[in-house]
Amino acid sequence: MPSINLPSLFRTKRLKRHPWLALLFPLFILYLVYIIFIKEDSTMLGLDGKPISQYKFAHEREGTFYFPFTKNFKMPKYSYKKKKSWSFLNNHVPDIIPEGHIAHYDLNKLVSSANALENKEHVLILTPLQSFDEKYWENLLNLSYPRDLIELGFMVPNTKKGDQILKQLENAVKNVQGIDKKLGSNKFAKITILRQKDSGFHKFNDRKDKKEMNDIELEKEKRAEMALARNELLSSTLSHSTAWILWLDSNVIETPNTLIQDMTQHDKPVLATNVYMKDSNDKDKANIRPYDFRNWIESDTALQLASEMPEDEIIVEGMAGLATNRQLMTNFYESDGSPTEELALDGIGAACTLVKSEVHRDGAMFPNFPFYHLIESEGFAKMAKRLTYEVVGLPNYLVFVR
């Protein structure tokens, strides 16, 4: 058997007297292997019970062999699975939580104020798309509120018509969001497009028994599906930074370009504009007519009518044979009146309605079931008022649909 050449340390009389010393060298090598390739710094992972705030990044420790915040440094993608570091020269612990991975938001500091533009408050514009109108999109792009403070959310029906709507919408979005920054990009902060699958307003058009339903049943079904679509769109897009939600229907083709600033300055929890219709080629307001009759003031007649109804029935404003004697906001319009004039309302439409985010966060939604004999947007107004929020309309502030 060939002899093993040990270091001179072990070829001494001491080795003869203490043969166990021959094991020190291989044990030392094994210890180095363990330290370098296997052992992890448990204190860096918080296994010592310390809070996350006491974690340290590698650049805060001495003896590191790389320099953060240089062009060659990249923070690794975080994974909740523990990883072993096999690098001898890099003292970085890959399991460290990167900056910004855990975010804290205090909604008590979220402000929805009359000075929305000055305070840089974020606005979420939500639209259930039943069709794509170029005039709607052009009007949206003409709004003067900064786009980096605006998020857009769309609900597209899952039908063949919806496929076409989606193509048109995606092309329009790409033309705005795909601009090169060097050319002066003016992008929206975020755009979300949802497809309604199992429920929503598109189902109503597929009903085969519509002819067998009376007018009230048809309207109830239609509004219930729209309510579901609105609720899903809202819950899927509302973020921690959203201060205002502007509900804007897809057939709204003309508004003042200062729409958001004009409405937020009223500082109202729920604020509805007066929605009118005019010929698309008529640039003046000579030939206009009311469109949205859901903005109304409650009447004793309607309350008495509701008290005599079964719980699952609804009152539909404007339905033939169902007189409510409610005062409609459309009748309060004055051509020479102030556009800032306010009118307290009990029911609203959602064609162009601004809502403080706290109203929705506190639970006000669009009921797809009879709520005090009201449904969808009118039911939302009732729910908001039950939560003690003020519901207001602007009778002389007109927006137009086609």
Domain ranges of the chain: 115-401
Instruction: End-to-end CA distance of the chain: give it in Å, rounded.
Output: 101
Residue 174 phi/psi, 5-degree rounding, is: -60, -35
Q: One digit per residue, pLDDT tens: the chain, 402 residues? A: 455 454 554 455 555 666 666 667 778 888 877 777 666 554 444 445 555 445 444 444 443 334 444 445 555 554 545 455 444 444 444 445 555 566 778 888 899 999 999 999 999 999 999 999 999 999 999 999 999 999 999 999 988 999 999 999 999 999 998 765 554 568 999 999 999 866 544 455 555 555 545 677 888 899 999 999 999 999 999 999 999 999 999 999 999 999 999 999 999 999 999 999 987 555 555 689 999 999 999 999 999 999 999 999 999 876 666 789 999 999 999 999 999 999 999 999 999 999 999 999 999 999 999 999 999 999 999 999 999 999 999 999 999 998
295 by Cβ neighbours in 10 Å (0-12 / 13-18 / 19+) ranks as buried
Residue 158 phi/psi, 5-degree rounding, is: -90, 70
- Whole-model pTM: value is 0.73
Q: Quote the radius of gyration of the chain (alpha carbons, Å).
A: 32
For residues 177 and 167, what is the distance between their CA atoms, to the nearest angstrom?
15
Q: Which of 320, 275, 315 is nearest to 299 (CA)?
A: 315
What secondary structure, in 3-state letters, does 58-80 show? HHHCCCCCCCCCCCCCCCCCCCC
Task: Give one DSSP letter per residue of 138-150, joined into a string.
Answer: HHHHT--S-GGGE
Does CATH number 3.90.550.10 belong to domain 115-401? yes
